[in-house]
Structure 1
């Protein structure tokens, strides 16, 4: 047999009916639904645990099953998936390319292993935007800020500057109902409708802006110059700065159809690639819609094969 050329992925016979890329609620739902109809799957997740982002959500009020926080829901999903022998987990592995052919899909991993199956469900979700990703913020190129929702923070008695008015701010406030944290929320016109749920919270000061210029961090505080919608300018200081700018798709390169924002509309994809979860559109980024779309994706692959 001829030697494999350098840098050529090694194809592994996975002997599965479905490859699922992404181990969040949508990907896990796809694998569980596939198992429920007798399909064998392999689930590839770049983190070392399933549903990593759920562990960062301290309060839930919009999911079925009585789960009031993200970690409990994540543990429940992981236990459900562990009970099925029809799904093999590849944790800590990242898909680096997806290719679609007439009769199969090939997924290359960061280990240079290539997995093949008749269909693939793509549910890699989205990641947080940074100040450099939006036109209404000017910031030092090296500035990287944490999302308000991503990690537990010491918020008691502090003033936090929040860039963007995305809805996780409401989640943060519900999760810390008794904290005396003050949030200075600077947001563009496109976020006007998103701040309605926090408008009456006394801990929130809304700052509708045209533009924000972040200063380089010096000392224990952060400062920013703000231009309001009517052209007035002022400088704001806070103990720390966090993001609530929204998210951007994190799909791997390859045979995927993307819209101008980078999302992957399901109707535009190759017949052997089914897109699920937040990767479909910015409009349906909810846990319950992700779970439903993951289940639907697996069933679509199931019925096509039959």
Structure 2
């Protein structure tokens, strides 16, 4: 396979690697993709791992961990360890700064198209592109200005929260991670969430910095740059206005995957069952139910082993 990873100017020109020396193409460099590449190498499979950013980029934004093995208590520490291990994995070639725009599967191989127009082929592909944060316009219980986007809460640091009131849209679990990571930060979180998210707020109910605001509907007004204002309708039909210094998201995530021959369910996720035999799906892209670092790593390893046994006709 060619090793040309330098940026190109002008329109991309489609080229195809005709002499593939790769057994598995791994799409996505998070915990699942990295585990797939590392497991593939452990059984002698050669892989190329494609990631548009840095390896484990989202882990660097998680300041506190309490649900992974190995003694890592912060996302950056775990990300650094994974990155170092992949860098020393001779059978894995990294293609960073590249984005897969299409995935096609045939009887004997898979073909991926990069954002440069270049094509790569291999007998199997592991797709571990994960999920991205939902925005206000993606959920029915929020009305927001057209095209309005907000940062997720996990991107906020202590300086963003100290002495301030933050409106948090949604009750997803990263709120608990934020609070554990900044135990001494004096802040107030106004957590507005629909009734369907009530079970997610159990771990933060007793934190004195949190005010829970169950809502039927929330209308977010354009910000004047200094304050955030929203009109709320409660589940009992009462209406009132809330204000905060800033607004952040904790709405959950939406799957991100290349176009092409991936089978998606009604929510956009790509369950492993029902995919083309040469395509394995790993990590958060599989389902909203198992979005944990540990399950991502396990599914990535399983996907690589699936390719290993399939190549030897042992499935």
Q: Which TM bucket (shorter chain)?
A: over 0.9
Mapping for residues 231-242 of structure 1, pairs under 5 Å: 231-242=237-248
The list of structure 1 runs, each at least 4 consecutive aligned residues, that deviate by more than 3 angstroms after superposition, is none
Identify the residue that residue 140 of structure 2 maps to in structure 1. Answer: 135
Per the alignment, residue 217 of structure 2 pairs with 211
Quote the Cα distance in structure 1 between the aligned partners of 2:76 and 2:228: 31
Provide Cα deviations, 1:74-118, integer angstroms capped at 9, x if missing partner: 000001111111000000000000000000000000011100000
CA positional deviation for 1:180: 1.1
Question: Structure 1's 151 and 21: CA in aligned 2 closer, same or farther, altered over 3 A?
Answer: farther
TM-score normalised per structure 2: 0.94
Cα distance in 1 between the residues matched to 2:151 and 2:205: 23
What SS does the aligned partner of 1:185 have? strand
Q: Are the aligned partners of 1:34 and 1:40 in contact in 2 as well (CA < 8 Å)? A: yes
Equivalent residue number for residue 3 of structure 1: none
Say whether residues 1:224 and 2:230 are aligned partners: yes
Question: Does 2:44 correspond to 1:53?
Answer: no
Asked if the contact 1:160–1:238 (Cα under 8 Å) also holds between the matched residues in 2, the reply is yes
Query: What is the aligned partner in structure 2 of residue 85 from structure 1?
Result: 90
Q: Is the 8 A contact 1:53 1:150 kept in 2?
A: no
What does residue 108 of structure 1 align with?
113
Question: Which digits, 9 at most, give the CA deviation of each residue in 1:99-156, with x for residues without a partner?
Answer: 0000000000001110000000000000000000000000001311000013435210
Structure 2 unaligned regions, length at least 5: 1-10
Q: Deviations over 1:23-76 (max 9, x none)?
A: 0000000000000001000000011x1000000000000000000000000000
Whole-Å separation in 2 of the counterparts to 1:116 and 1:151: 40
Instruction: Report if aligned partners of 1:24, 1:51 keep a CA contact under 8 Å in 2.
Output: yes
Moved more, 152-161 or 191-200: 152-161
In the alignment, does 2:197 pair up with 1:181?
no
Q: 1:276 aligns with which of 282, 285, 294?
A: 282
Structure 1 stretch displaced more, 216-225 or 238-247 = 216-225
Q: Give the Cα separation in 2 of the matches to 1:36 and 1:177.
A: 40
- Whether the aligned pair in 1 keeps the contact of 2:12 and 2:116 (CA below 8 Å) is no
Cα distance in 1 for residues equivalent to 2:52 and 2:264: 21
The alpha-carbon deviation at position 14 of structure 1 amounts to: 3.6
Q: In structure 2, what is the Cα distance between the partners aligned to 1:92 and 1:40?
A: 20
Shift of 1:219: 3.7
What corresponds to 2:174 in structure 1? 168
- Contact in 2 for aligned 1:105/1:118 (Cα 8 Å): yes
Structure 1 match to 2:303: 297
Provide the aligned length of Structure 1 versus Structure 2: 300
Please, which runs of 5 or more residues in structure 1 have no aligned partner? 1-5
Q: Residue 144 of structure 1: which of 126, 149, 173 is its match? A: 149
The answer to whether structure 1 residue 285 and structure 2 residue 284 are counterparts is no
Q: 1:154 aligns with which of 151, 155, 160?
A: 160
1:58–1:114 Cα change, 3 Å: same
Q: CA deviation at 1:8?
A: 6.7
Distance 1:154 1:57 in 2: 15
